[in-house]
Amino acid sequence: MSEEVIKTEGLTKIFNKHLTAVDHINFSVKQGEIFGFLGPNGAGKTTTINMLITILKPTEGKASVLGFDIAKQDDSVRNVIGLVPQEYTADEDLTGLENLLLCADLYGISRNVAKERAADLLKLVELTDFKDKRVQTYSGGMRRRLELACGLINRPKVLFLDEPTLGLDVQTRTATWEYIRRLKKEFGMTLFMTTHYLEEADALCDRVAIIDHGKIVVVGSPEELKRSLGGDLITLAIKENKDVSELIQKVEHVKEVRKEDGAYRIKAELGEIAAPFIIEALRKKGYTVTRLSLTEPTLNEVYLEHTGKSMRDAEESREANFSRRVTMRRARGG
């Protein structure tokens, strides 16, 4: 089997002849990694996933999953992938187990095999005790885990997760990441996920592609991306009303100084070492440092660097909005 599990070449989707949702993107996902698409709502993440899972046909370009062309061999693709959608698709009126068996039926898995697998998966996501309860009574985290189990019923080689923790509170989100890691370890799958949560991409993904307005702006591991920014960020203010940019620039490890709103934003390779030197250098010249903060770069800074703006929520269609609201409401167990 090829190293590259997913590969796209100039993949493009244009809706209604003028709305370019995904614009000639090229990337590849390696066997066994968790690859994340990070971007704001409306950046083209879900459209990309929908093309890869053969729900949408690309307007231009091509893509393959495990060597199968998504447009020409769509049936073969569907057999080897699993999907954990953004929405809660489990039927509220059915029990957890019934939902899993329904998923199994969609893959044509025989009842006996399905029951065995369902029991294993329920155990894995710790829903065994709730398997005969209606999904209506589940909390957001439980619903999410059930969706995970559903996505795995056909033992997929590639699992697609669309915003896997949308609307969940921080604790449930962290717990869900743990389940995702565990499932990946158990089944040795390749994971492709989308998210607009920076921490999620950082915590979960081996590699991240930042996507904005349908284009990939940068790809790399979260570490690489953060390191490429050139180190840590020091923010500093002095009492005196004078420009000391040049003075700071001369300090060792300092790479870049910018003066913004009376404060200095300093990029330094090793922030924790550079900071004392900067204070020292300023004091020697008689300046008083009134405030200093040191931040390690997050993916937000990476995002900012490459798109020139902070993650923003773009205008969404009525439909997307509705399904998002429903998802959020259910996530809160409402």
Partner 1 sequence: MSEMNHNSKSKLHGIWALTNRELKKWYKEPVLFLLSMIQPIIWMGLLGKSMNISALIPTNIPGLDAKIIMEQTFGTGDYFSFMAVGMIGMTALFTTMFSGMSIVWDRRLGFLNKVLSTPVSRAVIIFSKVLSAALRSMFQAGIVILIAVAFGLQFGANFSLLNILGVFAILFLLCVGLSSLFIALTIRSTRMETPMAVMNLINLPMMFASNAFYPAKLMPDWLQTFVKVNPLSYTNDAVRQLLIFNTDWAQLAWDFTYVGIFAAIVATIGIVLSWRFLSK
Task: Give CA torsion, residues 125, 128, 133, 136, to 10 deg.
Answer: 0
- In the complex, least distance from residue 92 CB atom to partner 1, rounded to whole angstroms: 9
Question: What is the per-residue binding string for partner 1 in 273-312, x denoting contact by CB under 8 A?
Answer: ----------------------------------------
CA–CA dist 247, 281 (Å, integer):
8
* Binding residues for partner 1, total number by CB under 8 A: 39
Amino acid of residue 295:
T
Angle between helices 318-331 and 140-152 (to 10 degrees): 110
Buried b (16+ CB within 10 A) or exposed e, 200-215: bbbebbebbbbbbbbb
Which of 88, 130, 179, 197 touches partner 1 (CB under 8 A)?
88
Q: Which residue has the tokens 């609201």?
A: 325
89 touches partner 1 by CB under 8 A: yes
Nearest to 214 by CA among 86, 42, 16, 331: 42
Name the segment binding partner 1 (CB under 8 A); options: 124-132, 226-234, 300-308, 321-329.
Answer: 321-329
325 touches partner 1 by CB under 8 A: no
Question: What is the per-residue binding string for partner 1 in 93-132, x denoting contact by CB under 8 A?
Answer: xx-------xx-xxxxxx--x-------------------
- In the complex, least distance from residue 229 CB atom to partner 1, rounded to whole angstroms: 36
8 touches partner 1 by CB under 8 A: no
Closer residue to partner 1, CB minimum distance, 191 or 234: 191
The contacts found for 106-113 with CB under 8 angstroms, 24 or more apart, are: 107/79, 107/153, 107/154, 109/153, 109/154
Phi, psi of 208 (to 5 degrees): -130, 140
Closer residue to partner 1, CB minimum distance, 190 or 307: 190
Please name the residues in contact with 308: beta carbons below 8 A apart, sequence gap of 6 or more. Answer: none
78 touches partner 1 by CB under 8 A: yes
Binding to partner 1 in span 52-71, by CB under 8 A: 53-57
- In the complex, least distance from residue 88 CB atom to partner 1, rounded to whole angstroms: 8
CA–CA dist 329, 33 (Å, integer):
31
Interface ranges with partner 1 (CB under 8 A): 50, 53-57, 75, 78-81, 83, 85-89, 91, 93-94, 102-103, 105-110, 113, 150, 154-155, 160, 318-319, 322-323, 326-327
